[in-house]
Amino acid sequence: MCRSNPVSVTERDQRAPTRMGNRKGRFEAAFKALAAAAVAVGMTLFTSSRAAVAAEPTTTLAIATPIPVKVLVINMFGPEAAPWLKALQPTRPVRVPGLPSDYPIVQCTADGVCQMTTGMGHANAAASVMAVLYSGLFDLRQSYFLIAGIAGIDPARGTLGSAAWAHYVVDFGIAHEIDAREIPRGWKEGYFGIGTGSPNEMPKLEYQTEVFELNAALLQEALELSGSAQLEDADDMRSYRRHYQSAPANQPPAVIQCDTSTADTWWTGRRLGEHARSWTRLLTAGKGTYCTSQQEDNATLEALTRAGASGLLDPGRVAVLRTGSDFDRPYAHQSALSALRSQGALPNAFPVATRNLVHAGMPLVADIVQRWDLWKVGVPQSSAR
């Protein structure tokens, strides 16, 4: 990952994501439906199993030799983690100092795949990932990292349950904001870049976390491997999609490639959605296409970048996968508030999105493990498969 301005893949030798930004807005009504949705994905089982793991003897700083990791799967909260734990069947729990009390353990398999849960939002993601990277408990020098979580999705790019691999990760929240009721005449929105004078002016990216460009070669491998994945769907999701009058919003879920935006605010609505599109285009010099909104990815990528600078890992081995659990804006003639409430009441959109993370992401994880002799030296060409 490079700092500030995007650098071409050739210049970076296809190694590093470029430092730029990211966001994840979600509808707050989803939390009211979280308990019911979580049960559908096995949250009860996950919670009880987590308690059981906490009671078991776990590996701590007494590890003599760091555990070699082929893939580290990074989820943000329990319902995202549950399908991965079910699929991976890890056998080695490792307690890591500095992880949140809800998710204090990294779970590892015998063949070198580990899973961690950061806690939601920028602060939790950055702190948790840094704790793991600098713990000394894992050998991450040849590891691949899969950030996998749910997101809001732009109906112009995907639909409920779709799985989107990102090339660019853009921070939605690092900006000036003027209340929409007070914006200057002629402005479409009240957001504009730090240090700029208007919404169309490119900021200097002085935070150095506003944008990340991920390894294009790894992205293409992930897309090819997951292209035939069988994504789950449900009747309530199909019924809700019919309110949207055009594809892909009214179509079944698919594996797609488009970019993601990070912010701790769970935003929704047409105007904010338009801002996410234009902001992504602006910060990526017209190269990025916004489609998912989430809360953590810029923070996670910054932690990985710093560890890369410390020689602990290769930041060019990072992939970001987000699945649509809700639309980021309403359908025609629907209000934003109605969209929040209606989508929060869908029983299956949330759990299906969490399970589709595994359906779309596991082909990459499995290929890395099965062909480790190739992957350990770098992203292999598709022709090597």
pLDDT band at residue 383, thresholds of 50, 70 and 90?
low
pLDDT band at residue 381, thresholds of 50, 70 and 90?
confident
Residues of the chain with pLDDT > 90: what percent?
82
| Average pLDDT, rounded, for the chain | 87
pLDDT, tens only, 169-212: 999 999 999 998 999 999 999 999 999 999 999 999 999 999 99
| 3 state SS for the chain | CECCCCCCCCCCCCCCCECCCECCCCCCHHHHCHHHHHHHCCHHHHHHHHHHHHHCCCECCCCCCCEECCEEEEECCHHHHHHHHHHHCCCEEEECCCCCCCCCEEEECCCCEEEEECCCCHHHHHHHHHHHHCCCCEECCCCEEEEEEEEEECCCCCCCCCEEECCEEEECCCCEECCHHHCCCCCCCCEECCCCCCCCCCCCCCCCCCEEECCHHHHHHHHHHHCCCCCCCCHHHHHHHCCCCCCCCCCCCCEEECEEEECCCCCCCHHHHHHHHHHHHHHCCCCCCEEEEECCHHHHHHHHHHHHHCCCCCCCCEEEEEEEEEECCCCCCCCHHHHHHHHHCCCCHHHHHHHHHHHHHHHHHHHHHHCHHHHCCCCCCHHHC
pLDDT, tens only, 55-94: 344 555 456 799 999 999 999 999 999 999 999 999 999 9
Query: What pTM, to 2 d.p., does this model score?
Result: 0.86
The architecture that CATH gives domain 29-174+209-376 is 3-Layer(aba) Sandwich (3.40)
In the chain, domain spans: 29-174+209-376
